[in-house]
Amino acid sequence: MREFIINQNDSEQRLDKFLLKACRALPVSMLCKAVRNKDIKVNGKRTQINYRLQENDVVRVYLNDSFFEEDTRDFTCVTPDIDIIYEDSNIILVNKKSGMLCHEDEKEKVNTLINHICAYLYKKGEFNPKDENSFTPALCNRIDRNTSGIVIAAKNAVSLRILNEKIKNRELTKKYLCLAVGSFEKKSGTLTDYLVKNQDQNRVYLSKTYEQGSKTAVLKYWVKDEKNGLSLLEIDLITGRTHQIRAHFANRGH
């Protein structure tokens, strides 16, 4: 049996969403069955899978220990290397370097932006995975490995929900500056294409017409300056697809 006392970062989550984070080895099908069989209780009572957790609720899970994975992350092995632009008790804004991944992939597990941020907060005493049931500081936006720029990270679940909602409603927007080869006849415009990603090669290509598996890619651009065969562009990404900016302009000969 495992007992979880719901803290502020856990509250307002559905029970199933919480348990899938807290009990990472627990299959969804078994989770549903455990709730029906009263193997999962909240405050000593039978509950529903869609119950919204409240701070100080006590969740007891009467299942085999094999479903509970210990958090083995070691932030002491990461030396924080981040350029902090702004920080308060809820959020931190950093200037991500070109060449650094935001999140881990199959090849890189340690040297990522989110790991550097977590290590920084761990060493400050603002985050300790042993004190959390389901929350880890998280990035609210991402940018490609070879792109530098501002990335926002939330230090708590409330801030993460607020920022994600604002980004979703476009109350908070991202602007990019980029250099493109050549000049532009139209000094501003909207580009719309269909983007297809090759997972094996981690490459994308664009099509003017829909193809199976493709996603709509839209951006707006403004030419800010032109010099020595290069154009400085300001970009507003309407959709945030992988390598989207490079793909749009490379497809048009820039």
User: Which residues in the chain come in under a pLDDT of 50?
Assistant: none
Q: How far apart are CA 254 and CA 247, in angstroms?
A: 10
Out of 124, 142, 168, a domain closes at 168
pLDDT, tens digit (0-9, with 9 covering 90-100), for 167-187: 989 898 889 999 999 999 999
How far apart (Å, rounded) are the C-alpha atoms in residues 7 and 10? 5
- pLDDT, residue 240, reads 82
Structural domain boundaries enclosing 204 = 175-250
State how many domains the chain has: 3
Q: How far apart are CA 127 and CA 89, in angstroms?
A: 11
Nearest of 128, 132, 127, 134 to residue 15 by alpha carbon: 134
Residues 100 and 124 occupy one common structural domain: yes
- Domain final residue pick, 135, 168, 201: 168
pLDDT of residue 154: 98
pLDDT digits (tens, 9 = 90+) for 135-144: 999 999 998 8
According to the model, what pLDDT value does residue 137 have? 96
Q: Tell whether 92 and 159 lie within a shared domain.
A: yes
- CATH number, domain with residue 47: 3.10.290.10
Whole-prediction pTM: 0.81
Domain harbouring 123, CATH code: 3.30.2350.10
Closest to 14 (Cα-Cα) out of 30, 27, 32, 29:
32
Boundary residue ending a domain (168, 185, 211): 168
Beta strands in the chain (DSSP E): 2-5, 40-42, 45-46, 58-61, 84-87, 91-96, 138-139, 149-154, 175-181, 188-198, 203-207, 215-227, 230-237
Using an 8 Å Cβ cutoff, are 153 and 91 in contact?
A: yes
